[in-house]
Chains A and B, each alone.
Chain A
């Protein structure tokens, strides 16, 4: 069985949730797997990360390099290519970082590339069988991957549920000296923090959230009306921001805000994993969508198949009657 590595994402010395998820993914490739965690970075933060990983990983490879203080994927790739043996399996989260790193890494390692994997069914001979989704989660697919020269596998965040396992008591190996000076044609400058909006949707108890199904800018007012009578805030999914109908600060999802309301009413939102990743705290979720196959109906508590441009105004007027009574 191929050796398995998990690249550990961390922020400010704190290990990302993906670290334990990759461990579960490794075990679904090979139940006996003892994957090696690879961590890059520098300074005290890197040491804190390595220490924390000893609870879950049996072996940790530490690459300390001042050029890796910020995880520029182009530099991380060079460091990994220098240390990862041929025909290994490398696991990454399919996040904004994994998307940046994985495909190019697979080329340099001459390995297969699997991205956005949500399940792994096992290995037979040289072939790994995995599960993906297409069309924003409307259909699933099996993929067969030749891992004879290794594989880089980007795992969807949240798809592999971490188990509580006994402390691994891992050992840390400092392999920094195997990596030379690192330079790339892409240089990190700074991170520009998103501007705060007029409403902080992350603090709202009730959200009326609109997606592509709202169809036109003029229809946003229909959802706004409902939010107003309910004393709720208006949020949205990515296509509404792309179309500039609402500001970025109203976007729920992995590239927007993380919200934790009590009640979430999803109007014309298909339910992509990037959107769902922004909804925490298990709110009561109502989904209204005219497509009965919309993935949101797999996760919402209550589903309604209807035209929201007709449904919402009627819902609004009924609530208004109740409120003014």
Chain B
């Protein structure tokens, strides 16, 4: 089975506290630690487990710039055989539909049986997979938390729905699935693995190579544009307990007791 996994490099929220910059129009990007989007990493692991059983290859693709090569190498160190960087000045500022348009062009130049994306990335938009599927007229399922290959041309997938229930679906191949975290346990990637793929050339595909009309993607084609960042409305806000830890603990116990949380 030939599987494409679409990945994205994002600021790692487990390594960074995300804050606004001084002018308040963007997040503070100095000293940010980046990594592969958590959902995408589960998608790559799932693809690797499928080809380990079924045979075939895993290809990873990202839309971005030179800096994004680092995550492609990381996913190759996990076991992806090929990777491709979709990059062109004309692609900068693409919205979700623009990204999906670029991925569609890449898919049509190749032959994939299955395409995986993460269920969402750091912006929580959760839309590129569903758009890509609709553009390709492939079946789509989101929030997938298990995949079973049935025969040669079908999958049985479960989607995560409310209350921890699983919605079971049968899907025809080729199809697009967006992968939920927790579907598997992504393998560890050591420095040794990264070094082994450090010198592999990663092809870069621009508008000309993909045969994409540059006017159909990028900033000027984007129907949706983020105009600024700002601090979230505070809601009612917590009463912050300050003082020594001992004082804070005494206060918490008093409050919790008053609310019936302690006998």
Contact = CB atoms under 8 A, between A and B. Distances in A.
A303 B127 contact: no
Contacts of B224: 112-114, 143-146
Interface size class of A (residues with CB under 8 A): 35 or more
Contacts of A186: 139-141, 169-172, 175
Contact of B125 (A116, A231, A291): A116
B25 to A, nearest CB: 10
Interface in A87-121: 94-97, 99-108, 112-116
A322 to B, nearest CB: 7
B201 interface: no
A324 to B, nearest CB: 12
A293 B161 contact: no
- Which of B19, B182, B223, B249 has the most chain A CB atoms inside 10 A of its CB? B223
A75 B245 CA distance: 56
Interface string B194-233: 0000000000000000000000000000011111111111
Contacts of A205: 260-261
Interface size class of B (residues with CB under 8 A): 35 or more
Nearest to A293: B17
A298 B248 contact: no
Given A112-B224, A191-B168, A249-B164, A96 B181 contact: no
Contacts of A296: 238
B245 A311 contact: yes
Contacts of B225: 143-145
A100 B97 contact: no
A164 interface: no
Nearest to B232: A140
A299 B235 CA distance: 6
B174 to A, nearest CB: 9
Interface string B158-181: 111111111111111001001001
Q: Is the interface of B mostly helix, strand, loop or mixed?
A: mixed
B18 A135 contact: yes
Contacts of A162: none
Interface stretch (B59-67, B81-89, B251-259): B251-259
A11 B205 CA distance: 46
Interface stretch (B50-58, B107-115, B128-136): B128-136
A200 interface: no
B165 A194 contact: yes
B235 A107 contact: no
B189 to A, nearest CB: 17
Contacts of A79: none
A257 B195 CA distance: 43
Contacts of B159: 96, 100
Contact of A103 (B127, B167, B223, B227): B127
Contacts of B175: 185-186
A103 to B, nearest CB: 3
A241 interface: yes
A133 to B, nearest CB: 7
A314 B252 CA distance: 12
A34 B185 CA distance: 48
A142 B134 CA distance: 27
Interface in A109-166: 112-116, 129, 132-146, 149, 151
A49 interface: no
B240 interface: yes
A212 B14 contact: yes
B170 A142 contact: no
Given A135-B18, A187-B170, A255-B161, A244 B230 contact: no
A189 B156 contact: yes
Contacts of A193: 163, 165
A262 B122 contact: no
A42 to B, nearest CB: 18
B31 interface: no
A298 B237 contact: yes
B142 interface: yes
B140 A74 contact: yes
* In the A-B complex, the 5 residue pairs with the closest CB atoms: A103-B130, A263-B261, A303-B238, A185-B139, A194-B164
14 contacts: A96-B161, A104-B130, A134-B18, A187-B170, A256-B164, A298-B234, A298-B236, A298-B237, A299-B236, A301-B238, A303-B239, A304-B248, A315-B252, A319-B253
